[in-house]
Amino acid sequence: MQVKNLDDASESFSVLDTAASLQTAVMDLAPGEASGPKTNEHAGSEQVLFVVSGELRAEIGDQTRTMRRGDSVIVPKGVAHKFTNTGSSPARTFNVYSPPAY
């Protein structure tokens, strides 16, 4: 058994662990920072994003929502998406990709 901690993340996006059919990662965004352009970097994987702290604007396909601590969302395969920290403090997410994307 391997136990990973969110604090093991060493970069703004860090893969924590990878298994045969899924992968976990942590993403940290500074205020105003975005996950990147609204594209799909993992077209072959579904993503679950859980907000650990902070506030994000989630753009998934043609929908936009504000997400706060404790919220989660599923990003389907093949759907363009972007997450932007709209708060005044850092935001942290815990992500699951199935199958592994990175």
Delineate the domains of the chain, giving CATH numbers in brackets.
12-98 (2.60.120.10)
Token pair listed for 73: 């969302």
Amino acid identity at 63: Q
Using 50, 70 and 90 to split pLDDT, how confident is the model at 83? very high
pTM of the complete model beyond 0.75:
yes
pLDDT at residue 90, as a whole number: 97
pLDDT at residue 8, as a whole number: 85
> Is residue 92 predicted with pLDDT exceeding 80?
yes
Per-residue pLDDT tens over the stretch 28-69? 999 999 999 998 778 899 999 999 999 999 999 999 999 999
Peptide bond between residue 31 and the one before it cis (omega within 30 degrees of 0):
no
Using a 10 angstrom Cβ sphere, with 0-12 exposed, 13-18 middle and 19 or more buried, the burial of residue 94 is middle
pLDDT at residue 2, as a whole number: 85
What's the mean per-residue pLDDT of the chain? 95
